[in-house]
Amino acid sequence: MSQFSRIGVVGCGLMGSGIAEVCARAGSEVRVVESGEQALALGRSRLTASLDRGLRAGKLTEAERAAALGRLSFHTTLADLADCDLVIEAVAERLDLKRAVFKELDGILTDPAAVIASNTSSIPVIELAAVTTRPAQVLGVHFFNPVPVQRLIEIIPTQVTDAAVTEQVMNFAADTLGKTAIRARDRAGFVVNALLVPYLVSAVRMLESGIASAEDIDNGMVLGCAHPMGPLRLLDLIGLDTAQSIAESMYEEYKEPLYAPPPLLRRMVAAGTLGRKSGQGFYGYGENP
């Protein structure tokens, strides 16, 4: 069985809202939880705007949009997820925050077979499974931004994840969500970020050392290597704070200098210039990023 009937999504930021959208569009009942009413309203607005864009682009009909919205509900307490059979955590990329969510969910979910998954970009999933009483039902499901568009999901079982749980989630990703699922070992960075992050932070170091401008670095990779987006624009899309967290997690795991976030990246994050979501990163995005 690949279908989950009730899905909880913890966090309704860029990733959480996208995950909730694709699950609702695929036919699942989805309950979204945020930390407060203001964050919840912002997340609901973000999700509705995404559905509206899909409608305008002809990616879904008015009836499909209405059906997806009808499958969504919005909440501010994890207790509202008690009878979910799959909960996907999509909070900020911080180990302490994620562990707190996992521990609370473990005590709330009424079905002992319910699956708890993390959308972490880089944190070893076993660090989250260890705070639960159901480590066999814990794994990583790493979506990519923007979730409704990007077709990949990384599935990351730990060394103690039940093989049947892994297969169920792999099948759900492919058969229900229509994504391509790849399996990765539980190592910081998994497949994509283990290859991508050294490339991105190298671009920051290149800019920091004055070798080339941001525009020339990005044009070099777009026009010279046929990348759809240059590394610095991609960092702005990902979010510089998220990129820093991923780089720190990978450096902590491997102690390889190529993973360490450069000083320029740290200073930009400290200054609140986080990329598109803040309106300013390596490029400016005006008032409506």
**Which residue out of 34, 118, 154, 278 is catalytically annotated?**
154
Helix count and strand count (H, E) for the chain: 11, 8
For helices 263-270 and 192-208, the axis angle rounded to 10 degrees is: 90
The reply to whether 142 belongs to the active site is yes
d(CA 120, CA 189): 9
**Which residue out of 17, 28, 118, 193 is catalytically annotated?**
193
CA–CA distances in Å: residue 221 to residues 85, 205, 258 = 43, 15, 19
**Which residue out of 17, 121, 122, 249 is catalytically annotated?**
121
CB contact at 8 A, 65 and 54: yes
DSSP 8-class letter at 80? G
**Which residue out of 142, 245, 249, 278 is catalytically annotated?**
142
Q: How many CB atoms lie within 10 A of CB 106?
A: 20
The reply to whether 193 belongs to the active site is yes
**Mode of pairing for the β-strands spanning 115-118 and 72-75:** unpaired
d(CA 192, CA 184): 9
DSSP 8-class letter at 126? H
The reply to whether 121 belongs to the active site is yes
What are the E-state strand segments in the chain?
6-10, 29-33, 72-75, 86-89, 115-118, 138-143, 152-157, 180-183
Q: Which residues are catalytic?
A: 121, 142, 154, 193
